[in-house]
Amino acid sequence: MTFLQPALLLALPLALAPVIIHLIYQSRHRSLDWAASYFLLRARRMVRGINKLRQIFLLALRVLALLALILAATRPLTSQWSFLPGAGSADTLYLILDRSASMETRAPGTEISRRQVAIDQMMTYVKQSSAFSQLYLVDSFTGKPQLVPDVSKLALLPQTEATASSASIPSLLEETLQHIRQIQSGRVDIWIASDLQQSNWAPESPEWNSLRAQLAAEETTRVFLLGYPESEGTNYSISMQEAETYALPSGKKLRLSFQINRSSATAEESEKSIAVELLLNGSTTVHELPLTGDQTEITDWEIPLADELDQSWGRLLLPEDTNLIDNDAFFTFAPSPPRHTLLVSDRNDLIQVAQALTTAPYNPALEYLMSAFSADAISPTEGNFLLWQSPIPESDSLEGRALMDWIASGRSVLFLPPSGNQESAGLSFLGFQWGVEKKFPQTPARIEWWQTQGAVTANTRNGIPLPFQDVEIQRYRQLTVDESSFRTLAESSDDHPLLIEKTSATPGAGRVFALATLPLPAHSTLAREGIAFYALIHRILDESADASSSARSLRIAPSFAEPPGSELLVSSELAEALPSAQKKFYPGVLEKQRDESSVLYSLNRPISEDISNFLTLQKAEQLFDGATIEAISDQVGAKRSDLASEVWRWFLVAMALALIGEAALSIPPRKRPTTAPMSPAQ
């Protein structure tokens, strides 16, 4: 038996208080011989044995009551009392619900989605649990545990509705484990309902090492996995990648680049075409596009535009299939602004490298510029992307306020290590600071791991990884970060972060990155092996340029919040019956009015949700190696009694019974009625 509050075991000696009080009470009386009491004492000796036994029982019951109260307060755990009612079920249940777009695929043999099947099954399982249990819902969109007071209304909660977002199962598990430690619950069951989409589970993420250790240390916690990787039929999805306008000699053109994914493709379907409906400027046209394999890239698809149409929105729609939420993609367009990079540095060699990297045309139709400035000369109204190779400024300094204004305007910044080898003397900016420099004079370090999905280091559209493994690191500056505010995008072979990104950004703010080395020969081969670094820089530059454009794109990620002041202009038909606040969790278009113009935002799913790459149940269980996990089947109640359960309630029952017994023994005996003596007259 173990205890959740073991410190209270120190109070166990207090259970002897009734015995001590009894002895003290006995010592207060002195015996005096009195002739008149002689006959009374003789009569009392006849019942002394019974009274003594009664007093022993009273003391024992009082000690037992106090002992049970103290043990109940320590919250004992045991797996040996599973025969008791309520001892075999969890004290607290956590339901981690995957609300990502891929969960809206129709479940095999049903007419409802995987998400709806999961909710129905979980409601059935929870109703079978003990009445003592409480239920917390951890959905993938809000990411926070929320107490569910009425399980029968679980399916009606807004937190169980569909969304067009992605999910992060490691982050949800981390939030759940933190909440378990906060409330110090006893026996805990964690149920995960997911379709095992690989991008949502991130099996290569280093977060799983910490999660496995935490779960293995929780001897009262068990994980149940509701997996739904199976599907039936063929599902098509469409992902918008780029929409740009060009002035050509033949007239103004709109160029669209998008991707059509197909799951469960067969050999007979490998050359099939699909009808794509295009809605643009109020008119609808249908185009038959050829499909090749599971993934079809449509690049630079040209649509004629009227010369006077500078800014607008459009939509691509696929025919209905097994998942309706991934059948449409919205886009917005407006004249593209120049790609203007600002570099804050006094190093001529870095200025030359940055000039070559940022002005080499990633898109020949766009204009690329690069300007070098000192730290005190940044203009919040100039440029799209900032490279900062200078000491971290103080937050309340002129440079610090200029940097904050830059980020708040929606433009991105990449911090590079400042010159010198001194630590930043405690100075930090937005939760990170530079440490000492680490050198590798003999054997260079390499980039051992990098994020391949959902980041600027992600694979190309064709699924090819960027060649970061070819990069050699001769020296880098160590990074000290607030892990709750930053995520690691790339790690060195000695397990230190090389590239980080701030995650807790304000809606509409620019992205913040920090790179631990410089693209110079004495520091790394990032410039020489330039493909990966060039792609990374231009991905950030393109996203940052959107901040000054009148047409921008947004991905509906977990905890998504629309830009302040924006209004929903159009949304998917799937959201028609929903409240306006929930419609923004579906594909659509937002509009934000400015002084004399407006900004259009396209809302779409994360591209990773359209990639049909799922873990098997066996692979998912391996991620929990060392923890107690079971893939849930219809026999969900099986093998549940081998976990330690809280039994403090039974100690309270024992205390109540002891007090009742003590009260019964304390009742004085009923007096016998006496018969009055007869008078002589009678």
Question: Is the CB of residue 516 less than 8 Å from the CB of residue 468?
Answer: no
Least reliable range by pLDDT among 114-118, 231-235, 489-493: 231-235
Please compute the mean of the pLDDT values over residues 486-510 and round it to a whole number: 83
Question: Confidence band (pLDDT; 50, 70, 90) for 402?
Answer: confident
- pLDDT confidence of residue 165: 93
Question: Is the CB of residue 124 less than 8 Å from the CB of residue 191?
Answer: no
The whole-angstrom separation of Cα 209 and Cα 214 is 9
Q: Is the pLDDT reported for residue 222 higher than 90?
A: no
- pLDDT confidence of residue 138: 95
Q: Is there a common fold for 92-229+616-641 and 339-546?
A: yes
**Is residue 593 helix, strand or coil?**
strand
Q: Is the pLDDT reported for residue 643 higher than 50?
A: no
Please compute the mean of the pLDDT values over residues 476-503 and round it to a whole number: 87
- pTM score above 0.75: no
CATH superfamily entry for domain 339-546 = Class I glutamine amidotransferase (GATase) domain (3.40.50.880)
Least reliable range by pLDDT among 80-94, 551-565, 629-643: 629-643
- pLDDT confidence of residue 28: 63
- pLDDT confidence of residue 638: 35
- pLDDT confidence of residue 634: 39
* Nearest by Cα to 510 from 653, 620, 405: 405
Q: Yes or no: is domain 92-229+616-641 CATH 3.40.50.410?
A: yes
Please compute the mean of the pLDDT values over residues 185-206 and round it to a whole number: 88
- pLDDT confidence of residue 45: 59
Q: Calculate what percentage of the chain has a pLDDT beyond 70.
A: 84
Q: Is the pLDDT reported for residue 285 higher than 90?
A: yes
More confident residue, 271 or 257: 257
- pLDDT confidence of residue 395: 79
**Of the spans 98-112, 117-131, 426-440, 655-669, which averages the highest pLDDT?**
98-112
Please compute the mean of the pLDDT values over residues 144-172 and round it to a whole number: 91
More confident residue, 119 or 594: 119
* Nearest by Cα to 548 from 298, 321, 334, 366: 334
Question: Is the CB of residue 255 less than 8 Å from the CB of residue 246?
Answer: yes
Residue 187, token pair as written in the block: 């026996």
More confident residue, 17 or 235: 235
* Nearest by Cα to 274 from 243, 314, 313, 316: 316
CA 336, distance to chain mean position in Å, is 35
- What residue segments make up the domains of the chain, in order of their start? 2-28+38-81+648-666, 92-229+616-641, 234-335+550-610, 339-546
**Is residue 477 helix, strand or coil?**
strand
What is the average pLDDT value for the chain, to the nearest integer?
A: 82
